[in-house]
Structure 1
């Protein structure tokens, strides 16, 4: 599994590039990453205007300390224009909507090689997040994630996938595709992003918090947010609680004492503990250190 030097993005907040109010407020939202949107948030007759603004907006947000990425458009004619406008030092990654298969990712990556060279950027500077939103792509998720070392994240687009599959975007219908995405992302060494539900539903924040808590238990590490109110929930739920950290430290200490006594498995708080359980505890401490720094 390749080491792709993954970022720690629990919350990736969408910001329409042409909405100056949202852009100005973005650095104060505490999101781990700001995602400028050139796709669904921009009407067709404003696409070029958005491209003309994206460089300045990305630079301003990066100067304010934000990690900045951009979701580009899917049709090739628009995607090419978007990439020409977006590739720059302040843009860390591009999100690719409706990825049909690994060939699309490889073509994007090859195009980025050329643009980065022309811009004087280090090859591979611009990373990729792939969105699986069609029935065609479902069976190719691992190939998509492995298509380029630029790919750092994989996410299922619930609403578009539901349309493609002819299904309703319910918890039941979305569970299997999301579990497949976690497995594909983990196998390829990139971030599994998302949760089992629709990103558009933020009216019930208690229910949203439950979905994100479930997502972390399923192996997801972060998710997109379309509203600032979702950011604190994502940041909290995708990071270990102090209770989890304390329990992990106690478990590891007990295990290490058992090792000193010549035991490879121990009983801790009435449960059997062996190496895989310890590795889970170590992962909790590692995540805690990442988000505490």
Structure 2
């Protein structure tokens, strides 16, 4: 269960040293957009310190690598440092994932294969998203809302981003991988009301979690993407009632004035399974 992912610039020691204490399920050490060109090599080299330091605080660590000439070197150093997954920007083809897999295999002795989170940030990636979602090592798939809007020559409004973000989300669900994101851009982290509305909406659509750039947003994501006590209680009631009804040969029934059939039971079971996994790893 990954509800909250906190971006931290890879060249900011004062943020990195506290990143693992912010309550996020994942800390994403960013080597890409948040780091100026002159500091990128040093930020990459310092992964050997920050990745294990943050992991010891009890959360997973992903690394957002650069694309282009820096991609392979960033990925290798992150892998050797012990990162759990790579955030891979501007993935336009599954070939990028296949190539990285071939490069990284020789560096993974003694550790599990590092996983991938492709970011879909342009039109090529958007129309290749289904094959990307089925690519090697894919843990989750997500979008870059600002980049998508830029690629379209558009403004990152909810109306503009909704359809492409849903395309990416549907591809993730069809492939059986996690889906991170919200249906609107959330650059203004000071607007907590808007963030809460966006996170709640995303969960209703089946997104699993979302990223943020400020630690004050982490509690909102953790709350909005988690199952509430009322939801858990209802799911337990549905599953228990279904067992009783099935024993007498009924596959559909009424419960507290609500019609219950197979899809609703499956949804209740899935919620309880996710809750149990989240509790086991907390």
| Offset at residue 92 of structure 1 (A) | 0.8
Partners of 1:245 and 1:51 lie apart in 2 by 42
Give secondary structure in 1 for the equivalent of 2:46.
Answer: helix
TM-score by length of 1: 0.92
| Offset at residue 30 of structure 1 (A) | 0.7
Partners of 1:250 and 1:85 lie apart in 2 by 48
Partners of 1:212 and 1:106 lie apart in 2 by 32
Cα-to-partner distance string for 1:194-222 (whole Å, 9 max, x where unaligned): 01111422121111111111101111101
Matches of residues 30-41 of structure 1 in structure 2 within 5 Å?
Answer: 30-41=23-34
Find 1:70's aligned residue among 49, 54, 63. Answer: 63
Conservation of the 8 A alpha-carbon contact between 1:94 and 1:127: yes
Unaligned runs of 5+ in 2: none
Give secondary structure in 1 for the equivalent of 2:20.
Answer: helix
TM-score by length of 2: 0.95
Conservation of the 8 A alpha-carbon contact between 2:142 and 2:181: yes
Cα-to-partner distance string for 1:102-140 (whole Å, 9 max, x where unaligned): 111111121112332xxx234x52110000000111111
Equivalent residue number for residue 129 of structure 1: 117
Find 1:218's aligned residue among 205, 221, 226. Answer: 205
Partners of 2:20 and 2:125 lie apart in 1 by 34
Equivalent residue number for residue 98 of structure 2: 106
| Offset at residue 264 of structure 1 (A) | 1.2
Partners of 2:216 and 2:98 lie apart in 1 by 35
Give secondary structure in 2 for the equivalent of 1:28.
Answer: coil
Unaligned runs of 5+ in 1: 1-7
Equivalent residue number for residue 133 of structure 2: 145
What's the C-alpha RMSD, in Å, of the aligned pairs? 1.4
Equivalent residue number for residue 5 of structure 1: none
| Offset at residue 101 of structure 1 (A) | 1.2
Equivalent residue number for residue 208 of structure 1: 195
Equivalent residue number for residue 21 of structure 1: 14
Equivalent residue number for residue 253 of structure 1: 240
| Offset at residue 185 of structure 1 (A) | 0.8
Partners of 1:213 and 1:125 lie apart in 2 by 33
Q: 1:78 to 1:89 in 2, by over 3 A?
A: closer
Compare 132-141 and 168-177 and name the one that shifted more. 168-177
Partners of 1:229 and 1:104 lie apart in 2 by 34
| Offset at residue 89 of structure 1 (A) | 5.5
Q: Does 1:176 align with 2:163?
A: yes
Compare 195-204 and 234-243 and name the one that shifted more. 195-204
